Amino acid sequence: MKIIKLLFVIITTLLLSSQTYVFAQTNNTLDYLVLNTGDTLYGTVKYIDISGATPKYYKKIRLTDTYNHSHKYLRKDVSAFRVNNTNYEGFWLNQSSQNVMVLNSKYEINPKNGEKYFLKVVSKGTLNHYELEWWEQGESALSWMDLLKKEEDPFFIRATQGILGLKRNVLINYFSNCPDLKEQIKKKQLNKVWEVVDYYNSNCIY
């Protein structure tokens, strides 16, 4: 009798473990959406309307959950989401339009006086690398700018100026706390945003 009970316990434990493993594996491959409340909802996320000549962002982010039920969430109520293994985080940036944002190099995070943007996460660390994406009017190709943010800063800086490459003067001023990095940028020994990010995270942490 004791052997039967022991076998029952072992089999039940194995079944529960396998279900947990499958659920975890499934969640790792699904899109998800994180609400401001902290709730994480899994399924298929859609945030871009591609029905017109120029793609545009939906006013409400769509989620089809694992039970095939559709839901819509206001952008202001969403803090982050993942689509096709690409993560986006929401920030309130106090710029009135994308045209203005393209011309500026510093973007304050201001929930009380800003517009909600979802930035693509490129890499995270003491220095974080994001991309702000948009579409030009009449264009179907995606445009983007590279934004950097030190972990403690309440703002982003723009790291590149299109085909002209790094915004070197902006970066030199921003990295005043790391003379070695400033020198690398000034001498053009670093020419890519990811090189700047890797150098900072590896050599400028004091």
Q: What is the pLDDT of residues 29-75, one digit of tens each?
A: 799 999 999 999 999 999 998 887 888 899 999 999 999 999 999 99
> What's the per-residue H, E or C state across 96-159?
CCHHHHHHCCEEEECCCCCEEEEEEEEECCCEEEEEEEEECCCCCCEEEEEEEEECCCCEEEEC
Task: Provide the domain count of the chain.
Answer: 1
Tell me the pLDDT band of 26, cut-offs 50, 70 and 90: low
Residue 38 in any domain: the answer is no
- The pLDDT assigned to 114 comes to 85
| 1 pLDDT above the threshold of 90 | no
Q: Which of the residue ranges 114-118, 193-197, 202-206 would you say has the lowest mean pLDDT?
A: 202-206
- pLDDT tens for residues 86-105? 999 999 998 644 444 445 68
What's the pTM value of the predicted model, to 2 decimals?
Answer: 0.80
- Evaluate whether residue 185 is within a structural domain: yes
Owning domain of residue 107: 85-203
Q: Is residue 119 part of a domain?
A: yes
Residue 64 lies in a domain: no
Least Cα distance to 102 among 55, 154, 145, 54 occurs for 145
Q: Is 37 helix (H, G, I), strand (E, B) or coil?
A: coil
